[in-house]
Structure 1
Amino acid sequence: MILMSPAEPGRKFIDSPAMTQGHGTVSLKSRNRNSRQLLSSSEDEQYQKERVVSPEIMCSLKSRIANKQNVANVTRNQLSTSHILDASANMTISKEKEERIRRQKEKQEEFRKHLIAKQQNNVSVDNTKNYCDDTALLTRRDLTNTDENSLLTEDSDLLLNTTKPSNNKSVIIVDSREINGAQDIVSTLRFNHDINVVAAQLDSCDYVVSVRMGVDRKQWSEFSNGTNRAKMTERLLEMCDFYERPCLIIEKDKCKPEEKGRILHWTKYVDKTLVHLIQSKMTLFFTENQLETASIVADLCQLENRKNCAISCPINLNTDQQNRVKFYRSIPHLSYVHCLFLCNNYKTVASFLCSDVKTIMTNGKMTEERASNVYNYIRRTFDTQMLPSNYG
């Protein structure tokens, strides 16, 4: 039997085999816990060490940040400087542009003034030439008729403007329907014969070659068709009334190449019509195609020019002149060319209404018989009771 001392009351319990085994398990757990704590503390210390930045690194970072800020400031300053330079450059460019535009306007204004002065000089020269031509014309007429010259010099309302255009081209007035129906004739007259072709609405013929000559063109099928007899007769009578030398061109129809040898359809109606035309003052021409028609029209125009019967008045009219031409065309026995001459040789319609037969004949480029008919028409008497009482 072993006795325990009071100072060691639990020794036997600890030293017992069962207690010794349990104490070993507890110590193992404590050691594991301590090791885990040591590991966690070492990791925390390592993390703290990693988080701690050395002063050298901090200084380098601060220097880098300062450099970046300096670079940003320099870039900002450069951008502001570039914006200022761009603005100043734009202002300079705008000023240069305004200055260039101003110089261009000054040059344009100077050129406009120079052009106006040149046109005025040309107008004065043309007026001088017109005056000389009119003086020569009046002198020639004075040799034949002194009374006519005296009447012209006394009338202050007349504007003698009967000279040829400045381009010295012959003028032919063509009906507007011929522009679409006979393009080859119009083109040939313009380009091959160098003739100034002017389109207008004509009533009694297709071409006005001169003051006294009108030309009408008919195709053979239209001429030989008896159903068109009344219409054709009326048109030819009107042409004989308006012009002293009417002409009729009978043009062969266009045919296919295999029909070139075909004989024309000749009837008693054609013979009778030709006989009546030959007995009248009508001049007949027969052509094969539109080129021959254009050649004949050009030859007639040159012939009339040599006889001093060309269309020498201005053709381009303003609105007021067009209205006056409409008024003159309402008078019987006046052709379109006569109306043009009256419009250009009279300032107003009142001066025309106050003229006598000789003056109308001279300024209208017409015969004495026609001028007398016009004078009688504008001076005719009528019953005032036949006027309408209400003009509204």
Structure 2
Amino acid sequence: MGEGKVTVIVDRRESGSNVLRWLRELVNVEMRSLDAGDYVVSARIGIERKSVDDFLQSIVDRRLIRQMRELSELYERPVLILEGRDLFSRRLIHPNAIRGALASLIADMGVSVVSTEDEEDSARLIAALARREQVEERREVAFRAKPRRPEVHELQRFVVEGLPGVSCVLAGRLLKRFGTVEGIVLASEKELMEVPGIGRKKARAIREVLSSPYAPEQDG
């Protein structure tokens, strides 16, 4: 059974791992689909776990840097658990390439690289980190998601709402009337005034912004 309030968030892709089996004996487990990493023990610590073989292969196919960059962008303290022995004795990749990859993770991304013996050892380390963060440091456990990329229509509204006197409602009317942001830019003052809510003064102000030469020194 899990210990008290200590919880580890585990990515669903780890469901077949023996680490998960061991974790269930040590802490409370919450399964989620994570955008980066395999385990989360607090709002600031995200963990990626790799066996030695997977670590070496991820250097070859270039997954490693991408995965760890994503983890470091979401969590203040990214951690890489390197599970297993004989890292430098495998023939898959030259030892200097391994050292270079580790140096990049540590120096460029601030990743803490920790070596463990096996899956049980990894689980016990993850549980210890969770207890440290949640019990001793009283930090909440929460996973972070990648920022959602705005949809095109949202970006179009954002651009049009930047015009003088244009509310979100007026932005919608303008886009419906002219079809595109470009259509609004090319519209005449008279055409703009055909949109409900836009009088001569507002249409003139919009045209002034859209047609005036860029002169930042005049802005103050």
Could you tell me the TM-score, scaled by structure 2's length? 0.60
1:185 matched to 2:185? The reply is no
1:228 matched to 2:61? The reply is yes
Structure 1 pair 309–273 and aligned structure 2 pair: CA distance change class (3 A)? same
Could you report, residue by residue, the CA deviation over 1:136-186 in whole angstroms, capped at 9, with x for unpaired residues? xxxxxxxxxxxxxxxxxxxxxxxxxxxxxxx83211110001012x1x211
Q: What is the match of residue 147 of structure 2?
A: 331
1:196 matched to 2:28? The reply is yes
Q: What is the match of residue 115 of structure 2?
A: 286
Q: What is the match of residue 271 of structure 1?
A: 99
1:242 matched to 2:74? The reply is yes
Q: What is the match of residue 168 of structure 1?
A: 4
Structure 1 counterpart of 2:147, one-letter code: I
Query: RMSD over aligned Cα, in angstroms?
Result: 3.5
Once the 2 structures are TM-superposed, how far is the Cα of residue 251 of structure 1 from its aligned partner? 1.0
Following TM superposition, the consecutive aligned residue runs of length 4 or more in structure 1 with deviations greater than 3 angstroms are 262-266, 328-333, 385-390
Q: Is the 8 A contact 2:35 2:145 kept in 1?
A: no
Q: Is the 8 A contact 2:49 2:80 kept in 1?
A: yes
Q: Is the 8 A contact 1:249 1:287 kept in 2?
A: yes
Q: What is the distance in 2 between the residues matched to 1:384 and 1:291?
A: 56
Structure 1 pair 329–210 and aligned structure 2 pair: CA distance change class (3 A)? closer
Q: Is the 8 A contact 1:175 1:201 kept in 2?
A: yes
**Structure number having the greater helix percentage:** 1
Q: What is the match of residue 345 of structure 1?
A: none
Matches within 5 A, 1:203-218: 203-218=35-50
Q: Is the 8 A contact 2:49 2:81 kept in 1?
A: yes
1:252 matched to 2:81? The reply is no
Q: What is the match of residue 310 of structure 1?
A: 140
* Structure 1: 5+ residue stretches without partners: 1-166, 254-259, 316-327, 334-377
**Structure number having the greater strand percentage:** 2
Q: Is the 8 A contact 1:251 1:286 kept in 2?
A: yes
Structure 1 counterpart of 2:129, one-letter code: L
Structure 1 pair 185–329 and aligned structure 2 pair: CA distance change class (3 A)? closer
Instruction: Return the structure number with greater relative CO, CA threshold 8 A, min gap 6.
Output: 2
Q: What is the distance in 2 between the residues matched to 1:190 and 1:223?
A: 25
The number of residues matched between the two structures is: 154
Could you report, residue by residue, the CA deviation over 1:329-356 in whole angstroms, capped at 9, with x for unpaired residues? 57359xxxxxxxxxxxxxxxxxxxxxxx
Q: What is the distance in 1 between the residues matched to 2:19 and 2:95?
A: 29
Identical aligned residues as a percent: 27
Once the 2 structures are TM-superposed, how far is the Cα of residue 300 of structure 1 from its aligned partner? 0.7
Structure 1 pair 288–264 and aligned structure 2 pair: CA distance change class (3 A)? farther
Q: What is the distance in 2 between the residues matched to 1:274 and 1:332?
A: 30
1:382 matched to 2:158? The reply is yes
